[in-house]
Each structure stands twice: as C-alpha cells, then as structure tokens.
C-alpha cells in the first residue's frame, strides 16, 4: 500500500488510519481507546452507529442480540472516565504490585508514578471506546468526520464481541497470568482491527492478502511521532500498547486464512494462552505444545523476617521482548525473545534499608526461571541479562566464583545470582548476604 500522507495537510490514508486508531490494552480497563487529532463530530454520528453495527454483524457473522447504548463524550469526560475505571478495576495494592514489578525489572525508575503515567498516556488524543461493563459505545466530540466510520467499525465490533462472548468476563478470566491476559487482549483488539480493515478494503478479502503485520509497525511508529506522551513513553509501554493491534491483527489474518470469520470468532471460546502463540500463529493453529514452569517459593525467603511476598506471575514472550527491547535493543529482542518457551517469576518486597540493602536502593527481591528453545538460546539470554544487570546496578562487583554459566555479583541492594542450566536460565536479585548461599544452592537444584 502507498501512504499518500506526504504533507502537513489533513489527508488520511488507510495506513494513517491504523496509526491513529490506537489502543487501550492495559489489563486494568476493559475498554479500548483510540488516538486521533481534533475535528468535529458529525450531527448524525450516533444514528450512523446502528447502520454500521448491522454491517459489522454481517461481516463478522456475530449476531446483534440487543440494542446498543451510545454516548458522545468530551476530552475532560474521557480523562475522568479512565481515572474512575482505573480505580474501580485496581486496588491500591494491585497498582503498587504493577509499579513494583516494573521497577524490579528495571523498566521504570524508582520514583515512577504508574497511575499518573497511565492516565496521561491513554487520555492523549482519545477518541472512542466501547465499555463492556456499561454496555455503551462512547465516541469523543472531536473526531474528524472522515474518521468516524472507521472508529465506529472498530468499536461496534467490540459491542458484537461483547454480546456473544461477554468481554469483561473474557478479559478477566486469566487476570492472575499477565501473559495469558496479553494473549486475550490481542484476540479482542486483533479481531476488531481485522474487521475494521476488512470493512475498509472490501470487496478485497483480508485473508487473500499477504501479511499486513510487517507493513503496519514501521508506518504506525512513524505516524505516532505527533503524539508526545506516546513518543516519550518507555519502549515497554509503547510496544505493550501496539501489540494487541499489530500482532493481534496478524494473528487474526492467519486465522482467517485457516477458516474465515467462523474460525476467528471461535478464538473467543478457545483463546491462545500465551503471547508466543500471537507472535507465532502457527504455534496456536498447529497445536504445538508449550511447557509450563512451576516456581515454588524458596524456603530461605519464606523464613526471612520483614519480607513480604508481592506476586507470582509470567512475563511470556511479550514481556521478554519488551525487556530486551527497552534495555538492550529491539533487534536483540527479535533475535532472542522468539526462543522463549516458558517462564515464572516471584517478587518480594522488604524495607528499603532492610537486611542486605542500603537506603535508597530497590527494596525488592526478584526470583525468576525461564526456559528456551535450546541451550544456546538460554545462554544468549543469560549474556543479555548480564548486560542488563550491569546497567541496572552500576556498582555491581563480580564474585570470583563467576563463570561462563554462572554470574554472582554484589549490588547495593544485595547479591545477584544468574545461572545457565541446559535450556533454562534461573536468577535472583536483591538477596541479603545471610540468604545468599542457600539461594545459590536452591537455584542449582532447580
């Protein structure tokens, strides 16, 4: 496709449309948000919605089971809505855990305010969303007339998804597993994006076209430079926001080729459980098995006084892609993360000036285990993560026991141990001296 957007005039191409119809993919909200520039809402916008709803029902094969509530919303109301939704969906402790996890992995600085960031990030240029809790489609009062139909096509597909599959229940079914939640978000957004594109390119069929995913990412990144909050956000948030749309649409295009809209609609009943299946659709559609990791809490940490257990979770291929992409390079992420097979991590919190740490250092203990497609792939990740550790802890001093398969180092917040064993990497950070030997033995026994 050629992109005719060559001047600063308001000319919109299909690919420009994809760039500005962006995303609310955070697990703390069941709605989605679109980004675009200021304009005017056509007087008959809401009346168009019923017509578009019928057309999207015919396109996707999802039936209309009830009438749709519709509402125009202002920018101030969008921000208020997002803030209220965030507070309703996440307790302060859950927000703290999300913030602590990002800090522990080195993706944000210690003073990062996650709530403030999320509100600003997703309010920027927000233009429309469907809320499955209120069963209402909201559209902003500044959407340009030539964009309204595409916004409606996407959001009304969400309404149809909700009427058949209960989006709120679907998205929250695996809330304790970040990787599985990310895969479900990609189903919801990829399905709606594929439907929007199909509506846009008719009578051509999306399943008959070559993969659009490689074309979308670079053009979208270029076009999103006009959005300051997005442009200046850490790589983690930018990729997290785009993943359900770009990789999710690619996954759906593969599904359409496997069996049309009946096949992709069935994904709501049997969704992928990992983001690897979204990155690599053949893993899902060819039913390739993936291993699972069980990571028990180490006895040395269970017995440690003043230590609070925060969370056990899975990063998935998406999380490792974002980690490597932000802290090394996206090229390295593309090279290494695709070899991910399974992982699990544990996160603990202690007083900042507690045992093994100094005041001002990160108050977290991180324990993680990951499995890769081969021993060489695991070793490649070990070397990458050793580089990440050097950046995270500039004061890190290596221990004489370190080798090509084992790194032991001392940082301000405690000891770091990173071990390569066959096709796995296991590591821990922030371990006090009193628990260091026990943790080294535990890691070797995994």
**Residue 330 confidence (pLDDT) above 50:** yes
Q: Look at residue 64 and tell me whether its pLDDT is greater than 50.
A: yes
- The mean pLDDT value for 141-158 works out to 78
pLDDT of residue 142: 62
Dump pLDDT digits (tens) for 230-246: 889 999 999 999 999 99
Higher pLDDT: 428 or 72? It is 428
pTM, to two decimals = 0.87
Asked whether the beta carbons of 355 and 421 are under 8 A apart, the reply is: no
CB within 8 A of 203, min separation 6: which ones?
none
Of 103 and 26, which is predicted with more confidence? 103
Cα–Cα dist 175/268, whole Å: 16
What is the full DSSP assignment across 32-82?
---B-------TTHHHHHHHHHHHHHHHH-----S--EEEEE-HHHHHHHH
- Give the CA-trace dihedral at 361, 367, 372, 377, to 10 degrees: 40
Which residues, including other chains, have CB under 8 Å from residue 139's CB and lie 6 or more apart?
41, 45, 70, 71, 72, 73, 127, 128, 148, 151, 152, 155
Burial group, residue 228, by CB count within 10 angstroms (0-12, 13-18, 19+)? exposed
Instruction: Count other Cβ atoms within 10 Å, centred on residue 296.
Output: 12
Distance (Å, rounded) from C-alpha 361 to C-alpha 134? 43
Mean pLDDT of 67-82: 84
pLDDT band at 36 (very low <50, low <70, confident <90, very high): very low
pLDDT at 43 over 50: no
* CA-closest candidate to residue 182, choices 273, 286, 95, 285: 273
- What gap in Å lies between CA 139 and CA 31, rounded to an integer? 12
Q: Which residues contact 201 (CB under 8 A, 6 or more apart)?
A: 14, 209
Q: Give the pLDDT of residue 345.
A: 98
More confident residue, 138 or 374: 374
145: pLDDT strictly greater than 80? no
Q: Which residues contact 95 (CB under 8 A, 6 or more apart)?
A: 28, 114, 115
Q: Is 22 within 8 Å of 33 (Cβ atoms)?
A: yes
Residues facing 202 on adjacent strands: none
Q: For the residues 419-423, what does the mean pLDDT come to?
A: 97
Is the predicted pLDDT of residue 353 greater than 90, yes or no? no
Give, in order, the Cα–Cα distances in Å from 187 to each of 197, 246, 272: 15, 11, 8
| Residue 335 backbone phi and psi in degrees, to 5 | -75, -40
Least confident of 211-215, 334-338, 361-365: 211-215
Edge-first strand listing for the sheet containing 128-131: 69-73, 136-140, 128-131
Give the model's pLDDT for residue 361.
74
Tens digit of each residue's pLDDT (9 = 90 or more) over 247-303: 999 999 999 999 999 999 999 999 999 999 999 999 999 999 999 999 999 999 998
Q: What is the spatial distance between Cα 168 and Cα 445, in angstroms, rounded to a whole number?
A: 41
Q: Return the number of other C-beta atoms located less than 10 Å from residue 127's C-beta.
A: 29
416: left (phi over 0), alpha (psi -120 to 50) or beta: beta
Nearest to 195, CA basis, from 231, 233, 157: 157
SS3 (DSSP) at 424 = strand
Do the beta carbons of residue 158 and residue 139 sit within 8 Å? no
- CA distance linking residue 427 with residue 393, whole number of Å: 15
Convert the pLDDT of each residue in 179-224 to its tens digit: 999 999 999 999 999 999 999 899 999 999 988 888 777 777 676 7
Which token pair is 133?
């809790």
- Give the count of beta carbons closer than 10 Å to the beta carbon of residue 105: 23
CB burial of residue 343 (10 Å; 0-12, 13-18, 19+): buried
């Amino acid at each position: 496709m050629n992109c005719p957007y060559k001047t600063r005039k308001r000319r919109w191409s299909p690919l420009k449309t994809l760039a500005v119809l962006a995303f609310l993919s955070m697990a703390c909200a069941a709605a989605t948000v679109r980004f675009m520039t200021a304009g005017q809402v056509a007087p008959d916008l809401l009346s168009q919605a019923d017509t578009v709803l019928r057309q999207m029902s015919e396109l996707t094969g999802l039936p209309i089971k009830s009438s749709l509530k519709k509402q125009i919303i202002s920018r101030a109301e969008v921000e208020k809505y997002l803030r209220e939704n965030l507070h309703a969906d996440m307790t302060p402790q859950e927000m703290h855990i999300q913030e602590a996890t990002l800090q522990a992995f080195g993706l944000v600085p210690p003073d990062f305010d996650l709530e403030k960031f999320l509100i600003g990030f997703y309010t920027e240029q927000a233009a429309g969303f469907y809320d499955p809790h209120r069963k209402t489609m909201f559209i902003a009062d500044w959407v340009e007339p030539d964009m309204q139909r595409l916004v409606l096509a996407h959001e009304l597909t969400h309404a149809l998804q909700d009427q058949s599959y209960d989006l709120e229940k679907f998205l929250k079914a695996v809330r304790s597993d970040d990787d599985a939640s990310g895969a479900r978000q990609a189903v919801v957004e990829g399905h709606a994006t594929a439907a929007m594109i199909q509506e846009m390119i008719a009578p051509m069929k999306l399943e008959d076209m070559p993969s659009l995913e490689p074309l979308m990412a670079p053009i979208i990144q270029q076009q999103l430079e006009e959005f300051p909050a997005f442009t200046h956000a850490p790589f983690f948030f930018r990729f997290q926001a785009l993943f359900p749309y770009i990789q999710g649409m690619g996954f759906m295009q593969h599904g359409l080729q496997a069996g049309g809209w009946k096949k992709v609609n069935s994904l709501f009943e049997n969704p992928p459980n990992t983001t690897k299946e979204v990155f690599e659709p053949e893993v899902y559609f060819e039913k390739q098995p993936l291993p699972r990791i069980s990571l028990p809490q180490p006895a040395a940490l269970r017995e440690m006084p003043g230590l609070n257990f925060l969370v056990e979770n899975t990063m998935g291929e998406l999380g490792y892609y974002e980690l490597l992409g932000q802290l090394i390079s996206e090229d390295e992420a593309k090279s290494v993360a695709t070899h991910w097979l399974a992982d699990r991590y544990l996160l603990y919190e202690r007083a900042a000036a507690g045992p093994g740490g100094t005041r001002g250092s990160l108050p977290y203990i991180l324990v993680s285990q990951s499995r890769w497609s081969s021993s060489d792939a695991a070793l490649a990740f070990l070397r990458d993560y050793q580089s990440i550790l050097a950046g995270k802890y500039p004061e890190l001093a290596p221990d004489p026991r370190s080798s090509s398969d084992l790194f032991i180092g001392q940082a301000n917040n405690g000891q770091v141990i990173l071990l390569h064993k066959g096709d796995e990497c296991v590591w821990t950070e922030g371990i006090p001296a009193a628990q260091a030997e026990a943790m080294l033995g535990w890691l070797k026994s995994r």
